[in-house]
């Protein structure tokens, strides 16, 4: 894509995607099971941050007023293997979408009801 097809003229360099939660410890435990690892760092007592890849981060933050309304989707290169690994940690997805051939999205719901989707699209 050309830079003029990107938001902000293609000048964005990093993404920090936030998920508001109501109970830090319950959410921390759940996200560690979902992601399969402890956070990369804690900015303070009410936030935890995981690296998805270079320049891509996802974090939880205590914000009871907004908890439960997030929808995030992370695209995975091997979705089936990731689903199997997460199931091995005791979490199963709650919903699934298959909107087109080779396209799949599964949705996990944290203790507040935030939706964390994992998906795949066919490679070009």
User: Where are any strands of DSSP class E within 15-120?
Assistant: 15-21, 41-44, 47-53, 56-62, 71-75, 95-97, 104-109, 115-120
The per-residue pLDDT for range 65-97, each reduced to its tens digit, is 999 999 999 999 999 999 999 999 999 999 999
Q: With 60 as the cut, is the pLDDT of residue 40 above it?
A: yes
Cα–Cα distance measured from residue 34 to residue 91, given in angstroms and rounded to the nearest whole number: 7
Q: DSSP character for 47? A: E
Domains belonging to the chain, first-starting first, are: 3-120 (3.10.180.10)
**pLDDT at residue 9 tops 90:** no
pLDDT of residue 5: 86
Does pTM surpass 0.85? yes
Q: What is the mean pLDDT of the chain?
A: 95
pLDDT at 62 over 70: yes
Whether the predicted pLDDT of 23 surpasses 70: yes
**pLDDT attached to residue 124:** 66
């Amino acid at each position: 894509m050309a830079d003029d097809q990107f938001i902000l003229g293609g000048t964005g360099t990093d993404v920090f995607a936030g998920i508001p939660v109501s109970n830090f410890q319950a959410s921390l435990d759940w996200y560690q099971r979902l992601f399969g690892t402890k956070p990369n760092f804690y900015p303070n007592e009410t936030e935890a941050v995981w690296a998805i890849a270079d320049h891509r981060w996802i974090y939880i933050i205590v914000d009871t007023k907004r908890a439960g309304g997030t929808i995030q989707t992370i695209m995975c290169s091997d979705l089936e293997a990731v689903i199997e690994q997460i199931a091995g940690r005791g979490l199963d997805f709650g919903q699934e979408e298959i909107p087109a051939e080779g396209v799949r999205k599964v949705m996990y719901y944290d203790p507040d009801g935030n939706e964390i989707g994992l998906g795949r699209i066919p490679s070009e």
